[in-house]
A and B are shown apart, each in its own frame.
Chain A
């Protein structure tokens, strides 16, 4: 396939929903609030760890405007997992709609639905709860300490697949692999390293907080309109929690105001659905920003110990990673995130001896979940920091050292097969890989040749250059599934119905482009409708960098099938063999140029004239590979060595995402991910009091960058062609968030000689590291 021949794909067509959003048209969950809706407020646990000894809702129930109060005494007790993933989930069923125990500050205690928000708030104050406060577990070390309080002591916490799960030890997951011998590899090395890195709590902070509403349709089915990345998993999990059939539930995802992984969870929908069933009224629930921080999902803090060995000539002899994560009070994404620390990072560099050990701890802290980058973010900080240290030890330029060792097309890694999601992985050979180009192009753009050793630098303000290399995946092979249906209309337009979930990324546009290309029409003829469990086919949802690669291929296949039907009808109309016909830009034509029919003529014929049928088809897709996108990131910074403050001056991200279906959107993904990565590296962190309560739960004290704070960011798309993806595409949106932390760490070292092992790189940490030199 020559990318140059493509008509719709690889073009920066305008994102199809963008004008309506720029005009402020009603689009998001809260814009569709029914007039007679009830409002939900939740009573949250003020304690990190406590047992509810008694709870009295009787006064609250009698408060003005109150229509229902839910608590553990009046809802079904169903152990489930809030994380939306494949089924059965590779995660513990450790959550209940309401429980008799609270496990973090911000855990659910009781919910009120009332006529107004004020009435619901007032009713919360009337709920009397007596707690037996338990000793909280506030760190990984405390979780695994001898005699630690047990966070999940309930007997009904189980895991639905056969993997290690030991709640009585606060152990959520435990995975390991070894290829060759780490000890042997270390022994063979000229230089050995043993380093430990530690990352912080951070949050996605989409500008739209979690929000959901539910109402009963005229036939009594529950309709849930929600800001979710996983509408189909949401439907399944709500059915499970309410103990009703999936048939009774319709989930609609309208436009959503960002997700980044946070909305891959069912945190509100079970409650609004239950309250709608109880009250027969529409029910609306929106998190405040504070609730979003305290109760919403976060990025796992992870402690990563690396043991690596390198020869003087630059060969890596041993690559050992021991990763221990803090999943907080519930373990939804514990196993999968820790697995990705290994599976998305270890394969990047060749090594004969590789070992991985992953452990996940329960604590009484905010719950970690899926977050763009998904474990690779934390592990790349560690690995790419150590790559620079190793390069320095052997006296090699960090770029040259990476060029020598990185994986290439045609190579595999034993890690792909060893690490899957709750089961073995899928063996894979790398197809497309333009990492070498990314490294070269990025180096040129930042002008890497200017880089001088840190020892040569003097003065208060010192500049430094840093870089790193990255890979990710595209879908979870042989687990994820996406589907698409396409239906033709009289005017030659098409309804593209997809389960895939556009969370602002532009996937509706991208999938529309792919389908249009496959059919042979233009993007303006595509009516894209996604994420409605009543009307669109199934899709696992927006996660694991799967939508473009996986759901895109489903859209391409469905388009190809519809094209065939169009050609068949055209052949019938023109009395020509199908083999002589083709489509382009909304026309079917004979290859000799003698005959042509508009899609509208064909559709009118098929619907009204003869042998009538609906031109329509559907296709599903699963993947057998998870082809990694690759990227090289470069950054220039300036350190104020007196205060330790780090300023990013310039950032370059060169990325190989295969064929960019929509280059501007792919750049936009990269630029956005990079800036999120920069603030994760420098300014974002949860601050806690001694009792485990987050104390900076607002958007002034939790620091994300504004336009005034941002450095220039240059995203460069470096083409490759992935044979297994739609028109050569791979994923793009997760990989970009992983680079800033290691690249900046390396740049700080290049500027000052200081090496940081804990994040974020606050001025005080940088200053102390400089003092310690």
Chain B
């Protein structure tokens, strides 16, 4: 990584104007832990880590998470309807969690990134701020490389995640060889159960498939079905047939497809169990 220059701005506005002026020649650094993978060269770094964009607040039915909140803080935060601690707990190591940020995890997305999958399942809202603030649903935001949505000078400022309510359940799994490894298969699901039926379902996966995406066929197969294991099984079997699974770290695509289905069953079962109040 070759950097030409760095700027440590005083506040959000000066960070944005510096980035705007630099255009292609500048980029934001939050934790800086993914620069190694990005191969950025000959650019000017603008440090956005102390612009007051960190912290978690509960407001109404949602948590507002500052974009530069560290994964370590996400892991430590505890509340009834809060689930992102489970995701952070399985991201890399403490040294990385201490400094890397939620924003950094979801602006330039790799298949193995941990948070996009969870945010898709949770139906998060993402706020990009330039001159004015613009909100994106997770579906729009992750429908392609998010960086496409950013003009020079624009930053992700916060992420809004709904508080999980009674009757809702969350399931998450990241398959790794060892704890600190990159994901081989990630899946997350949120299920809402009403009168014994699946009233709402969002499920997303990544790592084993090209980029984080919702599995709409699985969702469609589950919507309105009886809230039981048989429905899940059938939905996973039918809803994943068209997916192009990719094996990583020496595993075959055939095994990846099998693993993907097992992991999906696991997250759906966990979400269902929680939704049913167990």
- Known contacts A687-B249, A706-B93, A763 near B181 by CB under 8 Å: no
- Interface assignment of A650: CB less than 8 Å from any CB of chain B: no
Q: How far, in angstroms, from A703 to B252 measured CA to CA in the complex?
A: 19
By a CB distance below 8 angstroms, the chain A residues around B252 are 764
B243 beta carbon closer than 8 Å to chain A: no
Closest A residue to B249 using CB positions: A687
Would you call B182 an interface residue if the criterion is a C-beta within 8 Å of the partner chain's C-beta atoms? Answer: yes
**Complexed CA–CA distance, A642 and B263 (Å):** 10
A703/B177 in contact, CB under 8 A: yes
Determine whether A762 belongs to the interface, using a CB cutoff of 8 Å to chain B.
yes
Q: Which residues of B contact A706 (CB under 8 A)?
A: 93, 178-180
* Distance between Cα atoms of A464 and B35 in the complex (Å): 43
Q: Is the CB of B255 within 8 A of A703?
A: no
Given contacts A685-B250, A764-B251, A703 and B181 within 8 Å (CB-CB)? yes
Whether B178 lies near A683 (C-beta < 8 A) is yes
Taking CB atoms, residues of chain A closer than 8 Å to B3 are none
From the candidates B180, B250, B251, B258, name the one contacting A700 in the complex (CB within 8 A).
Answer: B180
For A643, list chain B residues within 8 Å (CB). 175, 259, 262
Report the tally of A-B residue pairs with Cβ distances under 8 A: 43
- Interchain CA distance A700-B250 in the complex, whole Å: 15
Judged by a CB distance under 8 angstroms, whether A708 is at the interface is: yes
B contact residues, range: 10 to 19
Measured in the bound complex, the distance between the Cα atoms of B256 and A762 in whole Å is 13
**Please, how many residues of chain A have a CB less than 8 angstroms from a CB on the other chain?**
19
Q: Mark A619-653, 1 if CB is under 8 A from B, else 0.
A: 00000000000000000000000110000000000
Q: How far is the CB of A289 from chain B (nearest CB, A)?
A: 12
In the complex with contacts A685-B250, A687-B250, A696-B249, A705-B259 CB distance below 8 A: no
Docked Cα-Cα span, A705 to B178, in Å, equals 7
Within 725-773 of A, Cβ neighbours of B (below 8 Å) are at 762-764, 767-768
Say yes or no: B180 contacts A683, CB within 8 Å.
Answer: no
- Bound form: Cα–Cα A184–B252 in Å: 43
Binary contact track A699-722/B, C-beta < 8 Å → 1, others 0? 011011110110000000000000
Chain A residue contacts of B249, Cβ below 8 A: 687, 696, 701
In the assembled complex, the Cα of A768 lies from the Cα of B175 at a distance in Å of: 18
Give B84-98 interface residues, CB cut-off 8 Å to A: 93
Which chain B residue shows the least CB distance to A640? B262
Within 8 A of A (CB), among B156-174: none
CA distance A506 to B259 in the complex (A): 44
Residues of B within 8 Å of A763, CB to CB, are 251, 255, 259
Instruction: Report the minimum CB–CB distance from B255 to chain A (whole Å).
Output: 4
Please, what's the 1-or-0 string for B234-272, where 1 marks a CB less than 8 Å from any CB in chain A? 000000000000010111100100110010000000000
Q: Which residue of B lies closest to A642 (CB)?
A: B262
Query: Which of A685, A687, A696, A703 gathers most chain B CB within 10 Å?
Result: A703
Q: How far is the CA of A704 from the CA of B178 in the complex (A)?
A: 8
Min CB gap B223→A, angstroms = 26
Contacts of A705 in B (CB 8 A): 178
Complex contacts, B181 vs chain A, CB 8 Å: 700-701, 703
Residues in chain A near residue B178, CB distance under 8 A: 683, 703-706, 709
Partner of A767, one of B179, B182, B247, B255: B255
- Are B259 and A762 in contact, with the CB atoms below 8 A? no
Q: Tell me which residues from 657 to 691 in chain A have a Cβ below 8 Å from any Cβ of chain B.
A: 683, 685, 687
For B182, list chain A residues within 8 Å (CB). Answer: 700-701
State in angstroms the CA–CA spacing of A696 and B184 once bound together. Answer: 14
Q: Specify which chain B residues have a CB less than 8 angstroms from the CB of A703 in the assembled complex.
A: 177-178, 181
User: Across the interface, do B255 and A764 meet the contact criterion of CB distance under 8 Å?
Assistant: yes
CA distance A673 to B262 in the complex (A): 34
Give the CA-CA distance A768 to B93 in the complex, in Å: 31
Residues of B near A767 (CB, < 8 A) are: 255, 258
Q: How far is the CB of A257 from chain B (nearest CB, A)?
A: 19
Of A642, A704, A708, A762, the contact of B250 (CB 8 Å cutoff): A762
A763 to B175, CA, bound (A): 11
Q: Which residues of B lie under 8 Å from residue A704 when comparing CB positions?
A: 178
Considering the complex, give the chain A residue whose CB is closest to the CB of B180: A706
Which of chain B's residues have a CB closer than 8 A to the CB of A768?
A: 255
- B175 — which chain A residues lie within 8 A by C-beta? 643
A interface residues with partner B (beta carbon < 8 Å)? 642-643, 683, 685, 687, 696, 700-701, 703-706, 708-709, 762-764, 767-768
Q: List 9 A-B contacts (CB under 8 A).
A: A643-B262, A700-B180, A703-B181, A708-B179, A762-B251, A764-B250, A764-B251, A767-B255, A767-B258
Question: Beyond the given A701-B249, A763-B251, could you list 11 further A-B residue pairs with CB under 8 A, ordered by the A residue number?
Answer: A683-B177, A687-B250, A700-B180, A701-B182, A703-B178, A704-B178, A705-B178, A706-B93, A709-B178, A763-B259, A764-B247
What 7 pairs between A and B have smallest CB-CB spacing?
A764-B255, A703-B178, A703-B177, A709-B178, A708-B179, A642-B262, A764-B251
